[in-house]
Amino acid sequence: MARKLTAAQATIEFLKRQYVARDGVERPFFGGCFGIFGHGNVAGLGEALLEHADFPYYLCRNEQAMVHTAIGFAKVSNRLRALCCTTSIGPGATNMVTGAATATVNRLPVLLLPGDIFARRNVAPVLQQLEGPNTQDISVNDCFKPVSRYWDRISRPEQLITSLPEAMRVLTSPADTGAVTIAMPQDVQAEAFDYPEELFEKRVWNIPRPRGDASALQVAAARIRASRQPLLIAGGGVIYSQASEALSRFAAQTGIPVAETQAGKGSLCYDHPQEVGAIGVTGTPGANILAREADLVIGVGTRYSDFTTASKTAFQNPAVRFININVAEFDAYKHSALPLVADARVALEELAAAVRGYRVSAEYQERITRFRAEWEQEVERIYNLRHGPPLSQGEVIGAVNRATGPRDVVVCAAGSLPGDLHKLWRTRDPNGYHLEYGYSCMGYEIAGGLGVKMADPSREVYVMVGDGSYLMMAQEIHTSVQEGCKLNIIVLDSHGFSSIGGLSRSVGCQGFGTEYRLRRDGHLDGEINPVDYVANAASLGAIAIGVRTHQELEEALARSRSNQRTTVVVVEVDPYHARVPSYESWWDVPVAEVSLLKTVQVARESYVEGRRRERYFL
Ligand SMILES: Cc1ncc(C[n+]2csc(CCOP(=O)(O)OP(=O)(O)O)c2C)c(N)n1
């Protein structure tokens, strides 16, 4: 049996029938399709989406943003659901390249369907086509190749029959997932073909929980038993595998302290007795001191970014060894670790059984307990600074944390907020802390928050965003109003890039070019160039409230929570004083080796000193 459909209709018909199953629970994989139409998709995929009202279409304001929304959706769904995104050809398509990279870095599934130039070629160059004199076998969509986990171009309608299942294999693979790009030439989208009926039958993709090698597991258990100062690092893999309970039991049984990466924060509830906080550049003192001294590091679902390893300075014990539990072989082998290529939950359960009877020393446990108590005091201090106005960023985080419920989600991506949140946020749910810190893409925040809300409307979503990120991509407020997806957005106005300003000063560059100021005598150091964020947000349809004092902030947060429509609270924060410090860590940002500037020469000296502690783990 065959069904005559256009390539675009066949694509949507196929996507509708894709399901995933894990732990016996089955669900449809796709939640619908975001898009912006142009000549490259309006008559092809646009027509197909119009016909298939049961596959929802969402109109957004910017193509990059819709990929961020799809990322937020997939991340809070633990990669068990995804969205697809369709664009026209040319600029609409390449606007998604940054989003594709963000998805792939973070290993989150998104299906991108950019329109493409005519496969038929006879009318080329079409509007928005980038021609080349050396080949006709290329379009701007080739830009997606390095940022996609799977890439294909459909130049004949029947190619979908082999391409779409491959796309699903990659999207649902715990180890290989990321952006999948299927470029759809606009003429082919509208072409009909007799597709085999089987292509449109319901398919259930099992998300596996692979087990590690049995002998490697025994070696791992022996290493744990022999260790005196073990530390477990929980990465995003713990969350995606829904391994929090297994981790909690493992930590309680063994007494091994758990430090969390940005993607792994929330693996344990903040008040778990073995939770020692954030690790690395944006880490807390307990986690970083324990990392420095650890003789065994057990990395679970982490890819050891430089923020986690403090640019390879975090682990200073000469005898340190690593065990890496990861579904991705690539990550499991990092730091010459004993690799356990396995699902996090399964591996932690098996390891718990294999080390039964082992427990860290009472002295080690005492240190963990002390670090935890000292850190709680430090958080209280920062939450209650009562600085300003302008308020300190730390106390704004405290006020927002206090205003949230246990299942609410905080969303953030770039600037100084991620570091401060990593340290200070008290997470009570594995999906309650939503940081896009793989690509740390400014502009992710509001668009990503929309994806979170769409995936789970039962949760209140709190987007925390700096004024710089807000100005890059605030327009999805309008989409959130369209969809009735209420967000609580807190804009922290520091009149520019306070994070990069601080970084610039630390490398001797004096904050150059990082503040929103008017040009004066040829330099960007005139008066502050103000932005009315309240008016801006209101113009997009949000309820917008400007606050200055602590009390006004608390009242605005209470109002925001009870509002039905997206609410934006704008608060000025002090970019220079009462900043949250960094604790026991370092980040490699190379400083100019020669410079006429004294500030740079001084910074270079301490940079050279810091680099001495970078290690290879061979
Ligand atoms: C798309 C993008 N461009 C540039 C950067 C580099 N960058 C990181 S943080 C930052 C400034 C962020 O400013 P803002 O959102 O106001 O936060 P703040 O630094 O004030 O906390 C910049 C430019 C980035 N992460 N993403």
61 pLDDT tier (thresholds 50, 70, 90): very high
Q: Are residues 275 and 188 in the same domain?
A: no
426 pLDDT tier (thresholds 50, 70, 90): very high
Element (H, E) at 48: helix 45-51
Amino acid at 426: R
Element (H, E) at 166: helix 160-171
Query: Which atom of ligand 1 lies at the shortest distance from residue 98's CA?
Result: 1
> Whose CA is closest to 479, among 442, 451, 441, 440?
451
What is the model's pLDDT at position 161?
98
151 pLDDT tier (thresholds 50, 70, 90): very high
Q: Ligand 1: which residues within 6 Å by Cβ? A: 414-417, 440-443, 466-469, 494, 497-500
172 CA → ligand 1 middle, Å:
31
Specify the residue with its C-alpha closest to ligand 1, atom 1: 442
Domain that holds residue 146: 2-206
What is the model's pLDDT at position 215?
97
Q: Are residues 350 and 397 in the same domain?
A: no
> Whose CA is closest to 425, among 386, 375, 371, 488?
375
* Residue to mutate (ligand 1; options 307, 437, 491, 500; most atoms within 8 A of CB): 500
C-beta separation of 29 from 18 below 8 A: yes
What is the model's pLDDT at position 562?
98
Specify the residue with its C-alpha closest to ligand 1, atom 2: 442
Residue 240 lies in a domain: yes
Specify the residue with its C-alpha closest to ligand 1, atom 7: 415
The string of pLDDT tens digits covering residues 96-132 is: 999 999 999 999 999 999 999 999 999 999 999 999 8
Q: Are residues 423 and 560 in the same domain?
A: yes
What is the model's pLDDT at position 197?
98
Q: Are residues 190 and 219 in the same domain?
A: no
Alpha helices per DSSP H over 412-509: 417-424, 444-455, 467-472, 476-483, 498-506
Q: Is the peptide bond before 125 cis (omega within 30 degrees of 0)?
A: yes
445 CA → ligand 1 middle, Å:
12
C-beta separation of 231 from 42 below 8 A: no
Give exposure, 106-136, as e/b (b: 16+ Cβ within 10 Å).
bbbbbbbbbbbbbbeeeeeebebbeeeeeee
318 CA → ligand 1 middle, Å:
36
> Whose CA is closest to 474, among 38, 68, 93?
68
Task: Give bridge partners of residue 412 from the DSSP assignment.
Answer: 435
Query: Which atom of ligand 1 lies at the shortest distance from residue 440's CA?
Result: 25
Q: Are residues 163 and 76 in the same domain?
A: yes
What is the model's pLDDT at position 28?
98
> Whose CA is closest to 344, among 79, 163, 16?
79
Residue 46 lies in a domain: yes
The string of pLDDT tens digits covering residues 573-618 is: 999 999 999 999 999 999 999 999 999 999 999 999 999 999 999 9
Angle of CA points 286, 325, 618, to nearest 5° = 80
Q: What is the pTM of this model?
A: 0.98
Residue 517 lies in a domain: no
Q: Are residues 77 and 43 in the same domain?
A: yes
497 CA → ligand 1 middle, Å:
6
433 CA → ligand 1 middle, Å:
19
Query: Which atom of ligand 1 lies at the shortest distance from residue 413's CA?
Result: 25
193 CA → ligand 1 middle, Å:
48
127 CA → ligand 1 middle, Å:
34
> Whose CA is closest to 399, among 424, 422, 419, 378?
424
What is the model's pLDDT at position 272?
98
> Whose CA is closest to 51, among 19, 10, 18, 92?
10
Q: Are residues 245 and 201 in the same domain?
A: no
From its phi and psi, is residue 23 left (phi > 0), alpha (psi between -120 and 50) or beta?
Answer: left
The string of pLDDT tens digits covering residues 529-573 is: 999 999 999 999 999 999 999 999 999 999 999 999 999 999 999
The string of pLDDT tens digits covering residues 214-259 is: 999 999 999 999 999 999 999 999 999 999 999 999 999 999 999 9
Percentage of the chain beyond pLDDT 70 is 100
Q: Are residues 399 and 355 in the same domain?
A: no
Mean pLDDT computed over 35-43: 98
CA distance 506 to 527: 23
417 CA → ligand 1 middle, Å:
10
What is the model's pLDDT at position 326?
98
Dihedral pair phi/psi, residue 445, rounded to 5°: -55, -60
* Residue to mutate (ligand 1; options 473, 499, 576; most atoms within 8 A of CB): 499
Q: Are residues 122 and 263 in the same domain?
A: no
What is the model's pLDDT at position 497?
98
374 CA → ligand 1 middle, Å:
31
Q: Are residues 402 and 278 in the same domain?
A: no
Residue 411 lies in a domain: yes
CATH of the domain at 409: 3.40.50.970
Mean pLDDT computed over 164-168: 98
Residue 57 lies in a domain: yes
252 CA → ligand 1 middle, Å:
38
C-beta separation of 416 from 498 below 8 A: yes
CATH of the domain at 274: 3.40.50.1220
Dihedral pair phi/psi, residue 42, rounded to 5°: -65, -35
Residue 306 lies in a domain: yes
Mean pLDDT computed over 12-23: 98
Residue 361 lies in a domain: yes
Please report, for residues 299, 317, 339, 346, 616, the alpha-carbon distance to residue 335 in angstroms, rounded to integers and kept in the order given: 10, 14, 10, 22, 8
What is the model's pLDDT at position 388?
93
Residue after which a domain boundary falls, among 572, 587, 606? 572
Amino acid at 209: R
Q: Which residue has the tokens 């969402």?
A: 58
Question: CA 571, 572, 576, 580: dihedral to nearest 10 degrees?
Answer: 0
What is the model's pLDDT at position 99?
98
CA distance 43 to 31: 22
The string of pLDDT tens digits covering residues 65-95 is: 999 999 999 999 999 999 999 999 999 999 9
CA distance 512 to 523: 10
* Residue to mutate (ligand 1; options 497, 503, 504, 517; most atoms within 8 A of CB): 497
Dihedral pair phi/psi, residue 234, rounded to 5°: -95, 120
Residue 378 lies in a domain: no
Task: Give bridge partners of residue 260 from the DSSP assignment.
Answer: 234, 278
506 CA → ligand 1 middle, Å:
16
435 pLDDT tier (thresholds 50, 70, 90): very high
Quick check: helix, strand or coil at residue 464? strand
Q: Are residues 51 and 105 in the same domain?
A: yes
CA distance 162 to 217: 38
* Residue to mutate (ligand 1; options 469, 517, 571; most atoms within 8 A of CB): 469
Tokens of 6: 């256009």
Residue after which a domain boundary falls, among 373, 398, 422? 373
Provide the number of structural domains found in the chain: 3
C-beta separation of 567 from 543 below 8 A: yes
Query: Which atom of ligand 1 lies at the shortest distance from residue 575's CA?
Result: 20
Q: Are residues 460 and 555 in the same domain?
A: yes
Residue after which a domain boundary falls, among 351, 373, 395? 373
Surface-to-core class of residue 356, CB atoms within 10 Å of its CB (0-12 exposed, 13-18 middle, 19+ buried): exposed
